[in-house]
Structure 1
Amino acid sequence: MKKLITPLLLTLVMCLFGHLSWGQGATTASMTGEITDASGAGLPGATIVAVHTPSNTQYAASANENGRYNLQNLRVGGPYTITATYIGYQDQRRENVFLSLGQTLRLDVNLAASAVGLSEVQVVSERGAVINADRTGAATNVSREQIERLPTLNRSLQDFTRLTPQASGNSLGGANNRYNNITIDGAVNNDVFGISGTGTPGGQAGTQPISLDAIDQIQVVLAPYDVKFGNFTGGGINAVTRSGTNNWEGSAYAFGRNENIVGDDPITEQETAEFKDYQTGFRIGGPIIKDKLFFFLNGEITRRTEPLLFNLGDPGSIVPAEDVRRIEDTLRIKYGYDPGTSGPINRLTESNKIFGRLDWNITDRHQLTLRHNFVDAFDENITRTNTTFRFGGNAYRFNSSTNSTVAELRSRFSENFSNSLIVGYSRIRDNRQTPGGLFPQVTIRFAGSGSNTITAGTERSSAFNELDQDIFEFTDNLTIFKGRHTFTLGTHNEFFSFRNLFINNYNAYYQFNSAEDFFAARPFQIEQTYSASQNNPTPAAEFNAAQLGFYVQDEMDVLENLRVTLGLRLDVPVIPDEPARNQAVETAFANTTYSNLRTDVTPTGQLLWAPRLGFNWDVRGDKTIQVRGGTGIFTGRVPFVWLSNQFVNNGITFSSLQLRNQTAPNRFVTDINQVRNLGPAVSTTEINLISEDFKIPQTFRTNLAVDYTLPLGIIATLEGIYSKTMNDIVYRDINLLSPTGTLSGPDNRALYSSGRVSSSFTNVILLDNTNRGYTYTLTGQLQKNFNMGLNTMVAYTYGKSEDVNSGASSTARSNWQFNQVYRNPNDPELSYSRFDIRHRVISSGGYTFKWLNNFSTTLSLFYEGQSGTPFTYLYAGDINNDGSNANDLLYVPRTIEESGLIDVTNSSGVVTRTAAQQWTDLNAFIENDEYLKTRRGQYAERNGARTPWTHRVDLRLAQDIFANLGAKNHTLQLTLDIFNVGNLFNQDWGRNYFVNNAAVELVRFSRRDDNNRPLFTFNNPSGDVWTTSFSSRWQGQLGVRYLFQ
């Protein structure tokens, strides 16, 4: 209970304040300004009323003693009609005003005896103005218009977050995508457990967390110095959903593509196998009670089948077809196991989505929103590459179901007090299904490389793999307006309940060095994990957690053209549950520097302070030059999968079998209940620990930007962001003995002994903190919206990220053993991050041409160019005996003497390739590699190499045919999207490259000689080390939509 005292007291104290300011993600907009007379003097008591025209929702305020007013919790979008009145003065009206998500519009009104000309309307009605007082750090707003216009292949949030210059895939600002925070309607919509590559619930099932037709606006923030934003060290992605109005509006739509509108493989020119991908849905919204109660409803289904690339015998595949057939026959005949098809496979993905929302104008001062989102999906998962082959039985089906409910009450108690209360609950259920009965996974190497494999049997991570998540959140918010100050008090709290059943290698995992070894039942490695208790054969990690957030802030208009924001945020992570205690671990490490570690201790209740300062300076006071920026601390959220490891990998819950370097035949046992008998009676086991002082990720971030209005109304932006790591992750295997010496020769890294600190355990992995690491980005951007229906944007970003561990995996052991180093694996070097951006160029544009009376045509384009993605050159094998076969960075030799190459012989001892022949190939490979040739005589760097530049252009052509029937406008819209359109005209354009696991095992470790010099062999890669993905082909998508409004 001691763990709960501090956070519970903090929560109680903050709740006693009553109503406290909006927190995690923006759901509304606001408006502020001054109402003055002709001389510029404030008009105390003047009234301003903003009316959201579609719903007739009214927001009113009176000016204070200085003539200043403040309107909070306004609906996003518009149009708004804004009226300012004062006795004895002429009313002034502004029409067609639109508000962006999270925006604070500065609208000053000057009242005079005569009507003010409406020419000012154009200034204040500009949508999403770049130069406005509420902007401090880097942010991107995506309007409903952009969502409807721009090409989108997956109808996902990522299709629009890519409009952020500092984005790269799902990563923002060069940070791990797990360090982002995603909210929808102010409620968390992250994959908080941290397994999905998309960062959203259902991502592993190939679905989006919500239908794009339910989204109204999207906001991406990287450096918001408003302390109300939190729980990220990467970036924040906020979205708000559509709502109903007094107008009945609706749409029915369908989008689809198949192999007939997809290009051929750009390398092999092979036609795309038969597949189909379609989405269909509807949306409708309108009034239940005019001006009072509104509804919005959306439903959507997605059905996708897609072919696997690199089927057996396909051009580009180096998988030996004869070996595959013999392996299949052996499994069927000798072992009675059907491994599934070795022929072509189409992956099936399905999802069903339903979204509903109610908006109730209780009074002019109180509005309530209630919405629910349901997503049910599955994805049949199996992959093949040019060097890896998997039988159909090695597939698994990932099932995902999400229910999310959010309620928000927005209140204005007076002109000086407003409030937003958000309560949310999400229930997420994920699990894997495997075909047939359980059978050991069999991985067979070919061509002498660990990256060339043939795999059969039940997928080793899927025998038992389930995740249940329940998330409750509470945000209570208060905004106080006084003079030139806007004070905010806020709290945002998230409470989590997890049940994670994951037993890797439960069905046993065998590795064979060759097909011949498999036929002889001679595995070189055998692994299995099983429950240590006969009473509970499938133990799960079950625990609760919470993250509490509290903040206070003062936003000051210091001058008419200078706004300063000063705030302080406090985050308190809480883990009230304790894992099981294993005293054997304490005994084993009692006489080491880790004597204080215990399996039942987790970090909790730490007070993580985050002060922030932001500013916005309108240099001339005319919105032509704006300088903005800030500095402060951002506290993120740790993926809970990293913490869950300790609840099961404690030496008590599971036992494991790990047999390496086996040479005996007839060691392939297919009965998974008998595999454990192949090893010692008491099997060794892995232990996962967390430092008692471990802190969730924190970064110190500084941002400075200038926005400048060029001739013709073009806005130029120059922006820099620098982030320094305060707390991030590092993994250590504390069961690794100290080095016994060094290797000899040019590669003189440390050499470890074969023993362990404690022979009772295998890896003992400690999750700890490091403060080493940084990211920075420099961005230049030009943008312009034209009145004639044309909008354009172009941006260039240079970004660099370095860390000691990129946290690319979900398990402690993987995060340690696949983190490449050249010195001490427990003290990894600072090197390039897996999420390093380097060079990125984006551009978007759209033009709408209206012709005749019933037709309009819209052409939209998006271009993205990037200097590839990072990957690593390393050795295949464990050259320094640290227990990892995939973490030793390559030493790049200058001469054959430095290479350590030896002759390759066959089973009869006959030399098949001499060391000199291998050196000729290796030397040529190094010289032809733009990265390696710069590293001769040095070690390759982690993530130091990059794939080639990629260039991609996506296009959308939309034809609208509309007619007015009665009081409604009816539109039939036909769309053609072409993704990677350059490849349509030239097969060499638009190629996208990737490296399997972002690592290339270039040289294979053979052995060490008597002087501890490592010796190697080299098999020249056939072609490039990277491959092209399906996205290298142009893809078309046809769409039809009916709208009425």
Structure 2
Amino acid sequence: MKKSLLFKMVLIVLAMVGSISAVNAQITTSAMNGTVKDAKGALPGASVKAIHVPTGTVYSVSTNNDGRFSIANMRPGGPYTIEVNYVGFQKETANDVYLKLGDPYTFNVVLSDDSKNLEEVVVSGKKDATMNSKRTGAATTISKEQIQNLPTLSRSLQDFTRLTPQANGNSFSGSSTRYNSINIDGAMNNDIFGIAGSPAPGGLAKTQPISLDAVQEIQVVLAPYDVSYGNFTGGGINAITRSGTNNVEGSAYFFGRNQKLVGKNFAGEKANDFYRTQYGFRLGAPIVKNKLFLFVNAEQTRDKVPTSYNVGDANAMLSASDAKTLADFVQKTYGYDIGSYDKIDQETKSDKIFARLDWNINSKNQLTLRHNYIKASDDNLSRSPSFFRLENNGYKFNNTQNISVLELRSQINSSLSNNLIVGYSRIRDARATNGSLFPQVEIQNWGGQAGSTLQFGSERSSTANSLNQDVIEFTDNLKLLTGNHTFTLGTHNEFFKFSNLFVNNYRGRYRFSNLDNFYNDKPNNIDVTYPSVAGTVPAAAFKAAQLGFYFQDEIQVDPTFRLTAGLRLDVPLFFDKPADNPAVSASFPGYGTSNLPSGQILVSPRIGFNWDATGDRTIQVRGGSGLFTGRAPFVWFSNQYGNTGLDYRSIALSGTTANNAGFEPDPEKQSTVGSAGNTYQVNLMSPRFRVPQVFRNNLAADFKLPGGMVGTLEAIYSKTVNNVLYRDLNVKAKGTTISPDLSNGADLRPAYSNRVIPTYTGAYLLDNTSKGYSYSLTAELKKNFSNGLFATVAYNYGQSKDVNSGASSTAQSNWEFVQIVNNPNDPDLVYSNQDVRHRILGSLSYAVNYGRQKASGTTFSIFYAGSSGTPFTYLYNGDLNGDGAFGNDLLFVPRTMNDINMVKLEIKDAKGAVVKTYTPQEQWDALNTYINNDSYLKTIRGQYAKRNGSRLPWQHQVDLRVMQDIGTMIGSTKNRLQLSFDVFNFTNLLNKKWGRQYSYANQAYQLISYNSGLKGFNFSPTTPANTSTESFDSRWQGQIGVRYLFN
């Protein structure tokens, strides 16, 4: 006994300190394994048959010489009936067995001989998936019942992945949202290109990857030790879709909300008129009973939301008279209509069609074919108290998706099974601008308000912006059961074809420091990008692939201990090279525009374990270690293809040069502005660059507690192996500090020179860093009561640190968004954008059914999430250190007025007339009060603020759902009318001071303005103590639902 225990402990230690791994998330099925014995031992050759009752699908195998059996590629869910036969023994049957996605069901049988009278064995398979011999790493499974019963505002996958304790929105365990992987039925459904930063394509069109009515189950994995998972360093999300059965069943539904179901904001203001509707249907039916099945879902979503802070609204930046004066001037002078300045209704549309065919070819082979079609669009026109966009500065984002997947599941014989997946995705994105083409005009300091901006003309990033993606994937997993080993040999391959057109400032961008300068044709800044060859608009087009090959051995060391060890080879490939620009290689030796790492073999071993410490699975210890290799979003690579310096030239004028050049209104003549542009931005990549990798470790214990409760304690630690780091090779330190006069020598941060080589507006290098780590500690309790009550509560504590959070899609912004004090090319290791710290969540659901055949019922569900506030950064408004990045300089917190050179602040009206002047003393008094009232700033006087050093207040949200089923039986068919009412942020309904949500744009707040003209600083005494409250999300919102179901 002691020897066996010692052996297991050694294996655990080896698992925790051993090697490491990465794989592809391709799990679409469940499995069943176990042993068949009699009183004397194993029974080789026993027949095991599992029947999926809803579809009649039959899975059958025989036990091997050790009496073991394994059935792979089984449908999740149930119920199943299991039959075990052996000549001379009583047949044993188990009913109502339910299988969980990716969690094999263990079924051990001891047969009695025929001479004994044995009653049928009845087993309920609805047990908690936590206590499972194959469970090693952190994972959360969301069942069909939870999807149906819990409150959901957007009817999105994220509304349910938030049930993962380590989640923070779309981020998991403190990692970037771009490092997640999302699969549907095991096939890739990622936003591979990564512009939106959302897990699935279509994020910029605000569409969901699939209708919830097509989803049966959702799984989130963070540290899986199975060779079939991977291509992520954050979280892996896998949604399994519904399928048809032998029963004809379906549903038609409607969900809707408008301004009448939204509370007032904290200022007592009602919500503007809006509506959101979603309606659709689903149908599952047999085409041929027990053989061929169909499932189809169609859904349409429509949102209409008016702009806020319109002319005439409270706190609006623009008055009706000033707007008309401006519109008349532009029309008369340039013949251009700037569009409406009144309220504008913005529409978001999404049409989805999902279809799935399932064919039971025979008892050994099942084939699934599915297609998902999405067409979506979203209008974009934002306004705020300090930012006003005229109608024709808006744009529409269009998205179309066609994704097809074919899956063949085969049980070749009792020991050998195979799973084959082939998929094709065709995704098209494009922006469309409003009105006729015109340069973007930005008038700053509108009304004399520092930091306020008015914009009109064609949005500068939208006049040449489209993306085509074509992806083919091929996955094959072969499993072999022999003795106490289950071997997996597999491959997962993805082939990509991209064409990305993105030309910023293609139709010109003109900035004026005030309205007078615009009327007098004196721009302060001009930015234009135009093709080097007239008449062409080159796109970044390239082909790439990521190949994966892996092998794994699952060893059942003894009935209580399972060890999993695997090895994977990942090979990223680029089939096209960016064009070579010799001038860049000469300017930056060792780097070139055509240098692109390709064909690297990334070796990733992994090991994990599961130990039934008590022998009856009341205590289970599990864990493992692995090197998880993800993908970098391909937009980061596309930047190099599109910015070689050969396809485009840039014009960047400022000050007097821009004043003299003047405003050119013709969008087709922007290349003629000023002198011919001969500058450009280049994007480069280190020859040593590797895709993101983390070394992840976890250790957990699960407990069956009294009363049927299940508890979990889990720890996860991830060490960065490779993360992204951006550097601008065209920025260098001056060897001096910023002017001591700005702070009487208190702030002596280094000064920098940007554009050391004037030809380059920036030379941004994509490189790696190994700095960074994250960890989380989680405690969770859950219980599924027999009376229809389900409850869960969890607490997670974590920290996440990095040097770059990968928050943007372009190289320049990824470099600029990392706020610094010292070297901008060597940022400090600090808390990441996704650092969560404390998170508490709980959910409770109670359902009671009654009436004939239990056709009627009432369901009550509640969800709570509370978390410590989002981290954010205090900054200067301006470019204090001269590195060319505006708004990335960390704040120096003055101790006294001697530490900051305050200069006069003039407030002007729309015509530039001074209406108010604040003295340096008035500004300091207000700033000093602000600092004293800030819990973070008052503790770091005389020091620099850190990136993400401060935090917004705690956030608490309670969501509620009440659902009533009114049912009846028509023949043998159950028919129900289901009425539901969801309330989100429920506590705000009780008290408008509760449930407030907080955020800052880009998680940064520019508290103090650097006035380069007066060589000092400004702070507006009217700055409120808290500007971070989300006006709309802080209100309670209601949603009504009406559904008709039959089955």
Tell me the TM-score range normalised by the shorter chain: over 0.9
Describe the superposition over 1:330-364 as per-residue Cα deviations: whole angstroms up to 9, x where unpaired.
33333332222111122101111111111111110
Describe the superposition over 1:387-420 as per-residue Cα deviations: whole angstroms up to 9, x where unpaired.
2221111111111110010000011111111000
Give SS of 2:412's match. strand
* Residues 1:719 and 2:714 are matched in the alignment: yes
In structure 2, which of residues 1008, 1015, 1021 is the aligned counterpart of residue 1003 of structure 1?
1008
**Following superposition of structure 1 onto structure 2, how do residues 660-671 of structure 1 map, counting pairs within 5 Å?**
660-662=654-656, 664=659, 667-671=662-666
Describe the superposition over 1:72-130 as per-residue Cα deviations: whole angstroms up to 9, x where unpaired.
000011111111222222222111111111111122112224466678724xx124421
**Counterpart of 1:802?**
801
Describe the superposition over 1:694-727 as per-residue Cα deviations: whole angstroms up to 9, x where unpaired.
1100010011111112221111111111111111
Shift of 1:319: 5.8
Shift of 1:153: 1.2
**Counterpart of 1:1015?**
1016
Distance 2:869 2:568 in 1: 37
**Counterpart of 1:58?**
58
**Counterpart of 1:838?**
837
Distance 2:327 2:615 in 1: 76
Distance 2:828 2:718 in 1: 19
Do the aligned residues in 2 keep the contact of 1:252 with 1:1043 (CA within 8 Å)? yes
Do the aligned residues in 1 keep the contact of 2:23 with 2:628 (CA within 8 Å)? no
Task: Out of 841-850 and 107-116, give the one that drifted further.
Answer: 107-116
* Residues 1:784 and 2:778 are matched in the alignment: no
Identity of aligned residues (%): 51
**Counterpart of 1:472?**
472
Shift of 1:469: 0.4
* Residues 1:613 and 2:618 are matched in the alignment: no
* Residues 1:687 and 2:692 are matched in the alignment: no
Cα 1:967–1:683 shift into 2, 3 Å: same
Shift of 1:893: 1.2
Letter of the 1:979 counterpart: F
* Residues 1:1032 and 2:1034 are matched in the alignment: yes
Letter of the 1:637 counterpart: R
In structure 1, which of residues 599, 602, 606 is the aligned counterpart of residue 596 of structure 2?
602
**Counterpart of 2:705?**
710
* Residues 1:391 and 2:390 are matched in the alignment: yes
Letter of the 1:491 counterpart: T
**Counterpart of 1:18?**
none
* Residues 1:993 and 2:987 are matched in the alignment: no
**Counterpart of 1:900?**
901
**Following superposition of structure 1 onto structure 2, how do residues 720-759 of structure 1 map, counting pairs within 5 Å?**
720-743=715-738, 744=740, 745-753=745-753, 756-759=755-758
Do the aligned residues in 2 keep the contact of 1:30 with 1:72 (CA within 8 Å)? yes
**Counterpart of 1:8?**
none
Letter of the 2:891 counterpart: L
Give SS of 1:894's match. coil
Give SS of 1:213's match. helix
**Counterpart of 2:149?**
149
Distance 1:341 1:763 in 2: 37
Do the aligned residues in 1 keep the contact of 2:306 with 2:344 (CA within 8 Å)? yes
Shift of 1:503: 0.8
Distance 2:991 2:62 in 1: 63
**Counterpart of 2:860?**
859
Cα 1:654–1:857 shift into 2, 3 Å: same
Distance 2:240 2:273 in 1: 37
* Residues 1:377 and 2:349 are matched in the alignment: no
Shift of 1:513: 2.2
* Residues 1:219 and 2:224 are matched in the alignment: no
**Following superposition of structure 1 onto structure 2, how do residues 945-1024 of structure 1 map, counting pairs within 5 Å?**
945-1007=950-1012, 1015-1020=1016-1021, 1021-1024=1023-1026
Give SS of 1:875's match. strand
Task: Out of 737-746 and 93-102, give the one that drifted further.
Answer: 737-746
Letter of the 1:734 counterpart: L
Gaps of 5+ in 1: 1-20, 590-594
Shift of 1:932: 1.5
Cα 1:945–1:308 shift into 2, 3 Å: farther
Do the aligned residues in 2 keep the contact of 1:22 with 1:490 (CA within 8 Å)? no
Distance 1:432 1:182 in 2: 25
Letter of the 2:701 counterpart: V
Give SS of 2:823's match. coil
Describe the superposition over 1:725-753 as per-residue Cα deviations: whole angstroms up to 9, x where unpaired.
11111111101133331233222111123
Distance 2:424 2:1031 in 1: 38
* Residues 1:699 and 2:694 are matched in the alignment: yes
Letter of the 1:839 counterpart: H
Distance 2:736 2:322 in 1: 42
Shift of 1:660: 2.6
Q: How many residues align?
A: 1010
Cα 1:315–1:861 shift into 2, 3 Å: same
Do the aligned residues in 1 keep the contact of 2:389 with 2:454 (CA within 8 Å)? yes
Letter of the 1:736 counterpart: V
* Residues 1:527 and 2:527 are matched in the alignment: yes
Distance 1:529 1:450 in 2: 28
Letter of the 1:785 counterpart: N
Do the aligned residues in 2 keep the contact of 1:23 with 1:490 (CA within 8 Å)? no
Shift of 1:460: 0.8
Task: Out of 992-1001 and 64-73, give the one that drifted further.
Answer: 992-1001
**Counterpart of 1:105?**
105
Do the aligned residues in 1 keep the contact of 2:93 with 2:122 (CA within 8 Å)? no
Cα 1:391–1:625 shift into 2, 3 Å: same
Give SS of 2:834's match. coil
Describe the superposition over 1:461-502 as per-residue Cα deviations: whole angstroms up to 9, x where unpaired.
100111100000000110011111111011000000001111
**Counterpart of 1:439?**
438
Describe the superposition over 1:796-831 as per-residue Cα deviations: whole angstroms up to 9, x where unpaired.
111211111111111111111222111111111111
Task: Out of 1019-1028 and 381-390, give the one that drifted further.
Answer: 1019-1028
Shift of 1:1043: 1.1
Shift of 1:910: 11
Distance 1:359 1:116 in 2: 37
**Counterpart of 1:256?**
256
Letter of the 1:652 counterpart: L
Shift of 1:996: 1.9
Do the aligned residues in 1 keep the contact of 2:178 with 2:194 (CA within 8 Å)? yes
Distance 1:802 1:117 in 2: 59
**Counterpart of 1:1044?**
1046
Do the aligned residues in 1 keep the contact of 2:317 with 2:388 (CA within 8 Å)? no
Gaps of 5+ in 2: 1-21
Letter of the 1:986 counterpart: N
**Counterpart of 2:497?**
497
Do the aligned residues in 2 keep the contact of 1:366 with 1:412 (CA within 8 Å)? yes
Cα 1:556–1:1003 shift into 2, 3 Å: same
**Counterpart of 2:10?**
none
Describe the superposition over 1:138-183 as per-residue Cα deviations: whole angstroms up to 9, x where unpaired.
1000111111111111111111111111111111111111100111
Give SS of 1:103's match. coil
Letter of the 1:806 counterpart: S
Distance 1:312 1:623 in 2: 66
TM-score (norm 1): 0.94
**Counterpart of 2:38?**
37
**Counterpart of 1:231?**
231
Letter of the 1:965 counterpart: I
Distance 1:609 1:919 in 2: 58
* Residues 1:647 and 2:641 are matched in the alignment: yes
Give SS of 1:470's match. strand
Shift of 1:450: 6.8
**Counterpart of 1:77?**
77
**Counterpart of 2:3?**
none
Letter of the 1:236 counterpart: G
Distance 1:516 1:949 in 2: 44
Describe the superposition over 1:593-616 as per-residue Cα deviations: whole angstroms up to 9, x where unpaired.
xx1211111111111111111111
**Counterpart of 2:8?**
none
* Residues 1:202 and 2:202 are matched in the alignment: yes
Shift of 1:322: 5.9
Distance 1:486 1:758 in 2: 60
Shift of 1:318: 5.4
**Counterpart of 2:622?**
628
Shift of 1:678: 3.3
